[in-house]
Structure 1
C-alpha cells in the first residue's frame, strides 16, 4: 500500500466522523483555528464543566482534522505534508504598519532615468589568485592597490610620492564621501517627516477650531473619515426644569450683565461712584453719538431762545 492509499483511508476514516452543529464551525486551516459560535448549553456546562470543555474541544479538533485531510499534500523526507491555504481570518496588528522610507537622491535619479538597481555580490573573482575574494573588508579587493608589491609611479610625481599612501587616502576619501551622502539622506528624510508632522498638526488644529465654532461644540457635526474625537471640549447646558428661585437668580444676573452694573467704570483717578460718561452719552443719544446729541440740544436751545424774543 503506497502513501496515497494510506492518505485516502485516513481521510475516509476522518470523514466518517462528522461534527454536526446548529451553527457550522468556522474553520481556518491557514491558521489551524476553529471558531465555535454556538450558544453554550447551561445545563451541560453547570452539570460537569470538564466534560463539557473536552467535548467542545474534541468537536473542534475533529472538524479541523477533517479539513486538513482534504488538502493537497507534498512529499518530504519526514513524510507527506499538507499544503495549507492562505489564512482567511484577519488578525489585528499589535503595532501600525511601518512608514515607507523616503527615497534617497540616487533613488530619485535612478527612477527618473529608468536605471535598474542591482545588488552587488560580496565576492569578486581574482584573476591573479584564481579564486573568489571579498569585495570589502580585511584583505578585500578594494585594498588591492594598497597591498600590491609593484606600483606604477607617474613621471611628474614628487620625490616623496608614496603610491600605497595615495591609494589609501583615495579609498578613505571615498568612504568619507559615502558617509557624508548617507548623513545628508538621513537629514533630508527627517526634514521631510518633520514637515509632514507639522502639516498634520496644523490640519488637526484647524479642524478642531472649526469643530468648536458651532453651538453644539461639534457634537452633531458630520465626522470625517479617520477623525479623532476631540478631548477637553465640553459644554454645560442648564437643566430644562428648574426651581423658581434659581430661574429668578439667573435672570437677574443676565439683566445685570446687560445693564452693565456689575462692572466698575474704568477711569483714571475715579472711584466707584464715578459716572460713566460714554455710556450716558450713548444712552441719551440712542446710540448716535455725542455729536448728534450736541446738534439736537443746540437746535432745541435755539428754538427756546426764539420763543423768548417773541
Structure 2
C-alpha cells in the first residue's frame, strides 16, 4: 500500500505542475484565428503586476495562448502524410507592412517594343532534334556546348579571310562580344529605368557634338594663344567674360582674385555691428531740384485755387476785364471799336478820345 500511495502522490505532484486547459475570464478574449492573434481587454491586477511582474505576465500570456489553442482545436482537421493539419480561416485583422509595397519593375526596351507591336512570348521546347547528330539536343546549358563541339569539330575558313585564321578563336571572341553587348544593354535598361544620364560612348567629340561649356573653353584657349594673351583681341558679339574654376590656368595673364582671410570673432562682431548701424541710419536719397520744383508747383496750384474761391470785397469795383483768359493786362494789337454812329448816353462808348 505504501508503494501505491507513493505512486499516487507522485502523479498528483506532476498534475499540479500543469494547469488546466479551461480558462475563465471576466470579458471574453477577442480571437483572430487567421493571424493567430488574441486581444485581451480585461483589466490588469496592479498589485500582482507591481509585486511579481514577470510571473504575472507569464501566467497571463499562458492563459490567453490556451484560449487561442482551444479555439484552433475546434476547427475541422485533416490528416496529411501522417500529420494532423488545420486549415485556418481568413484573417480579420489587417497587419501593417514593415516595408512599402514593391513597385512594378519598369519595362525594358524590348518589352516596350513587344508591347507596342503586340508580340507575345511563346513557350519554347527545351529540346531540339539535331539532324546531324541524330539525337535530341537541349537549347541551352553545358550539354548544348558539348553538342556544338561534337558537331563543329571542323570549321571551314572563308576565302575572304586569311587562311591562317583560327576560326575557333574567332568564334569564341564573337560569342564573348555578344555576351558583352547583352550585358551593356542590360545596364542601359537599368540606367534608363532609374533616369540616369548615360554619356555618349564610341563617338569622337566634334564641333557639332560638343557642349556649350566645351565650346566656351575652346574659344578661351584660342583667344589666349596670341602674343598679348588675348588682351587686345576683339570680342565676339554677346561674348561673356570667361569666369569659373580653372580660368587662370587657361589664361595666364588673368588676375587672380585673392580670398580674404578668415576674420576673428572680434572682427566678425565689429563688421556685423557696422552693417547694422548702416542699415538703421540709412537715409533715403533726395533729388533737391525735383523736390523744390514740386514744392513751387504745389504752392502755385494752391494760390490759384484760393483766388478762384475767394469773393470780392463790398464797396470796391471789380476791374477784372471780361477777357478770355481773365487777365486785365491782356492787350491786343487791334484798334478799339467806337460807337459806330449809335450813341447811348447811359452807356459809355469805347474808343479813343479825340483832343
Answer 1 or 2: which has greater helix percent: 1
Name the TM-score, length of structure 1 as normaliser: 0.50
Name the TM-score, length of structure 2 as normaliser: 0.44
- Return the structure number with greater relative CO, CA threshold 8 A, min gap 6: 1
